[in-house]
Amino acid sequence: MVIANCPCGAGNYDHCCGLYHAGLPAADAQTLMRSRYSAYVLKLKDYLLSTWHPDTRPATLDLSDDKWLGLELKKHLIESANHATVEFIARYKIGGRAYRLHEISRFVRENERWLYLDGSFPGTNES
C-alpha cells in the first residue's frame, strides 16, 4: 500500500500505522488507538477485528459507508501495566452527513498485545 501521510496524522504511513497493520504489536494503547483509526480510514476490517478484545468484539464490521476525516487525541491515561484509556475525537461522514465521535476508549494488554475493549461517550448516556 502506498500512502504518504498516515491517516492518524502522526507521520509517514510506512513508519507509523503501516508498521502495526503489517503485524508489529503496538507498544501502548495510544499507538493502538491511532492504528485502529487508520485502519477505519483504510477499511482494514481484519486488523480492526484482530485488535478488538474477544469479549466485546462484534462478529463483523460494515465499513462500506464510512469516510473518516480527522483524528484529535485528547488524553492517554496509563492506569496500570495492562490497562489504559485514550480519549479522542474523530470526525467522519456517512451518507454525506458529518458526525463527530468523542470517545473514551478502554484498552487492555493480554499476552503482550494491546487490545481495544470498549468505550464510553462523554456528554451522553451511551457506553
Q: Which domain holds residue 56?
A: 13-120
| 103 assigned to some structural domain | yes
| 53 assigned to some structural domain | yes
CATH no. for residue 18? 3.10.450.50
pLDDT tens string, the chain, 127 residues long: the values are 557 899 999 999 999 999 999 999 999 999 999 999 999 999 999 999 999 999 999 999 988 888 999 999 999 999 999 999 999 999 999 888 999 999 999 999 999 999 999 999 997 655 4
CB neighbour list of residue 9: distance below 8 Å, 6 or more residues apart: 70, 71
Instruction: Check if the beta carbon of residue 12 is closer than 8 Å to that of residue 6.
Output: yes
| 95 assigned to some structural domain | yes
Tally of structural domains, the chain: 1
If you compute the radius of gyration of the chain from its CA atoms, what whole number of angstroms results?
A: 14
The DSSP secondary structure of 12-69, one letter per residue, reads: BGGGTHHHHHTTPPPSSHHHHHHHHHHHHHHT-HHHHHHTB-TTT--S----TTEEEE
| 83 assigned to some structural domain | yes
Nearest to 71 by CA among 36, 121, 44: 36
- DSSP-derived letter for residue 4 is S
Instruction: Please tell me the predicted confidence (pLDDT) of residue 127.
Output: 47
| 7 assigned to some structural domain | no
Distance between CA atoms of 105 and 103, rounded to whole angstroms? 6
| 6 assigned to some structural domain | no
| 23 assigned to some structural domain | yes
| 62 assigned to some structural domain | yes
> In residues, how long is the chain?
127
